[in-house]
Amino acid sequence: MKKIRCTLSVILSLLMLCTVFAPVALAAECPHSYSVTNVAPTCVEDGYALYVCSLCGDNYKNYDGAIKALGHSYSDWYVLDEATCLNEGHSQRDCSRCGASQIKTVAVIDHVDENTDGVCDVCNSEVKVEEVFSPFDWLIAFFNFLRQWFMDIFA
């Protein structure tokens, strides 16, 4: 009985030693048989050659002579929500290759006053009408004032 137990423990120790050292031994001894797969570049990643050992699974990427990342292939900007005089708008564009998308903010636009009533057609706020007062206008105003003055005196 004692002898059997002794043999068992020896076997167990041997097994443990094997499990600890076996992977190291295997990795060191693998003669490596690599197969090469060419991985195409994507929008953001360069292409590369992928080497995988069919025996131990060891692998690495080789970027030598690889094709550079393609960059996104964006559509034109399309409007998500239109900018108004009250709110800024947003536009989006999508990459046709990988689906990545970008959103940009469109700044608030000027008030709209199509009927020129001095009130914005969109938000009803008062629109500043730039009064251009030329020297000629000043002259007319001055003569009008003079005429009024004479009329007041000699009428």
Give dist(CA 58, CA 56) in Å, integer: 6
- Taking residues 83 to 122 in sequence order and writing x for each that binds Zn ion by CB under 5 A, - otherwise, the string is --x---------x-xx-x----------x--------x-x
Q: Which of 39, 49, 52, 53 binds Zn ion (CB under 5 A)?
A: 53
- Give the pair of three-digit tokens for residue 138: 């000043």
Cα 149 from chain centroid (whole Å): 70
> Min. distance of Cβ 101 from Zn ion in angstroms?
9
Q: Name beta bridge partners: 50.
A: 37, 61
Q: Between 41 and 90, name the residue whose CB sits nearer to Zn ion.
A: 41
Which region, judged by CB under 5 A, interacts with Zn ion, from 12-20, 31-39, 59-67, 132-140?
A: 31-39
- Give the pair of three-digit tokens for residue 121: 């057609």
Which region, judged by CB under 5 A, interacts with Zn ion, from 4-12, 13-21, 123-131, 141-149?
A: 123-131
End-to-end distance of the chain based on CA atoms, in angstroms? 147
Q: Please work out, in degrees rounded to the nearest 5, the angle formed at the alpha carbon of residue 71 by the alpha carbons of 69 and 72.
A: 140
- Give the pair of three-digit tokens for residue 125: 């706020």
68 part of the interface to Zn ion, by CB under 5 A: no
Q: Between 49 and 85, name the residue whose CB sits nearer to Zn ion.
A: 85
Q: Which of 50, 56, 106, 119 binds Zn ion (CB under 5 A)?
A: 56
